[in-house]
Amino acid sequence: MDLNWYDLHKVYEVVRENVGGPAVGPATERLKAQNWVSASDIDGFRHSANTKRISGDAARHARGPQPRTPDTMTLPEGREMISRLVRCWIDSLS
């Protein structure tokens, strides 16, 4: 089953909260500090998942601020990044 942006972001949130706690900003920074995936990949994933201008109707948000960033990715790239992130997270638990 192929996961969409919404599903992938839920997986990202589970890993982020497990690593960094419930507060989004500090948790994201703690996750980035793990170096499981690059900080620019995390930013690109979040931006691409949330922004209609990038992901069209598949984006998690239909409206809202549309910040410009060079960090974007396609849905297949997002799936691959989340897969790498989850593998590293699981390895860290053992």
CA 63 to chain centre: 19
For 26-86, give the DSSP string.
HHHHHHHHTTSS-HHHHHHHHHHHH-HHHHGGGSS-SSS-----S----HHHHHHHHHHHH
Mean pLDDT in residue range 15-20:
93
Residue 45, domain extent: 5-93
Query: How far is the first Cα of the chain from the last one, in angstroms, to the nearest whole number?
Result: 27
Convert the pLDDT of each residue in 29-80 to its tens digit: 999 999 999 999 998 888 888 776 666 566 665 565 555 566 788 999 999 9
Whole-prediction pTM: 0.81
Q: Count up the domains in the chain and report the number.
A: 1
Mean pLDDT in residue range 3-20:
92
Contact 27, 81 (CB under 8 A): no
